[in-house]
Amino acid sequence: MNQVLGVDPQEFLQKLFQIAVSAADPAIVLPEHLPAAPPGKTIVIGAGKAAASMAKAVEDNWKGDISGLVVTRYQHGLKLKSIEVVEAAHPVPDQMGYDVAVRMLSMVENLSVDDLVICLISGGASSLLTLPPESIPLSEKRNINRALLKSGASISEMNCVRKHLSLIKGGRLAAKCSPAKVVTLSISDVPGDCPSTIGSGPTVYDSSTANDALNILKRYDISVSEKVLDWLKSPDSESLKSETDLLHNNIYQIIARPQQSLDAAAQYCRNAGFNCIVLSDEVEGEARDVAKVHAAIARQVAKCNQPIPAPCVILSGGETTVTVKGSGRGGRNTEFMLALLLALKGEKRVYAIAADTDGIDGTEENAGCYLTPLSLRAAEEKGLYLPGFLEDNNGYEAFSLLNQLVVSGPTLTNVNDFRAVMILE
């Protein structure tokens, strides 16, 4: 394996991913943001892929009595002493997520001004905490989620629809807590770190409208029932707006965001002697198109030492999308990497990794995958027709056959995708 500056490129890139994940560890980033204990009782609620580890960080550092309920993805739970952790389905909601939402709203009813609610929100909350209006069956909400996930819609567009088809998102959860004080601690997994988009903003006001949701459904040609259309045309479908007094005394803090993880990885690169550039923490767009841009930059570095001289590492974060047209297996990171591998055309000096910081790329067990200058030749020797794999949205299978998947297991945090492209001298 090629060595540069005393490091193995493949191991170095996987180390960068671990550093990015560690920078968003709730045990490290959460304690300093805990509020003071109230005169009354303290209840912890929350949802997301990091909900269990966030709840543990609260429990481990809280002085006094505490109770609560959080929901996280299956296989992401922890057994805690005072806070109940329930597991539910992601990215398509299930009955367990519905039941937890009902229980959570009941738990925060009839609180007083002396009480405190600590709400823990991270990526994944939108599907894990699901509560459609009575007129819309959960089965249809599930179908709409599936269609959105395949459509190529951005996370902000998907969550706009989710907020307006919910009785708990878009500020409604915090409204139910009133007059108790609500302190929301969140881990951002969305480009731009917008609080109303993170987990569909159950504790913050929202500027989007039900008409926006209708337009998104129309834009992506997602068919819905008359019950859904009737709901989105009624005033009851509107999320809480900035004019409401219900949320004015609440506090919202983002305790970890993609930029922090990119900065930590960038510093590690520089300490190791690499030049490093962070393109952006909010890259969006079709994964295969984003890959072409990254490949063009890498080839420019290899050819002209622009915009940064080799040896270097190019970092980026954000959330790409995949318009699913094939029947293959794979998330947006394997899709990105498969397109990157093809666009690099066997460039001899480039290594790369792309992985989701929650440890799950799409619905598979891998966080993502990596490539080396030998990956294209290896695929040819195995008789793999990579354009066909890309056409079928089958990046998982391609990198599985190349034995280049990155499998970390659930990380219990989530600051979205992490991409690193290394160009050697």
How would DSSP label each residue in 231-265? HHTSGGGPPPPTT-STTTT-EEEEEE-HHHHHHHH
Q: Does a structural domain hold residue 3? A: no
Low-confidence ranges of the chain (pLDDT < 70): 1-4
Q: What is the pLDDT of residues 136-176, one digit of tens each?
A: 999 999 999 999 999 999 999 999 999 999 999 999 999 99
321 and 208 within one domain: no
How many domains, in total, are found in the chain? 2
195 and 94 within one domain: yes
137 and 77 within one domain: yes
223 and 119 within one domain: yes
Q: Does a structural domain hold residue 191? A: yes
282 and 224 within one domain: no
CA-CA distance, 318 to 416, in Å (whole number)? 6
Looking at residue 49, what DSSP letter applies?
Answer: T
Instruction: Report pLDDT for 4.
Output: 64
Q: Does a structural domain hold residue 407? A: yes
Provide the residue type at 186 as one letter.
Answer: S
Structural domain ending residue among the three candidates 227, 256, 285: 256
156 and 299 within one domain: no
What is this structure's pTM?
A: 0.94
Instruction: Report pLDDT for 244.
Output: 82
The first and second tokens of residue 67, run together, are 């109770």
In this structure, what CATH number is given to the domain that contains residue 42? 3.40.50.10180
30 and 15 within one domain: no
Structural domain ending residue among the three candidates 256, 274, 302: 256
CA-CA distance, 12 to 206, in Å (whole number)? 41
212 and 84 within one domain: yes
Q: Does a structural domain hold residue 4? A: no
Q: Does a structural domain hold residue 307? A: yes
117 and 180 within one domain: yes
352 and 203 within one domain: no
Structural domain ending residue among the three candidates 256, 286, 319: 256
283 and 296 within one domain: yes
Q: Does a structural domain hold residue 187? A: yes
| Cβ count near 5 (within 10 Å) | 12
In this structure, what CATH number is given to the domain that contains residue 359? 3.40.1480.10
Q: Does a structural domain hold residue 2? A: no
272 and 343 within one domain: yes
Judge whether 311 and 275 are in contact, CB under 8 Å: yes
CA Rg value for the chain: 22
The first and second tokens of residue 247, run together, are 């949320």
Taking alpha carbons only, the member of 170, 200, 198, 316 closest to residue 256 is 198
Q: Does a structural domain hold residue 1? A: no
Instruction: Report pLDDT for 1.
Output: 45
Task: Provide the domain limits for residue 284.
Answer: 9-22+259-423
CA-CA distance, 114 to 119, in Å (whole number)? 16
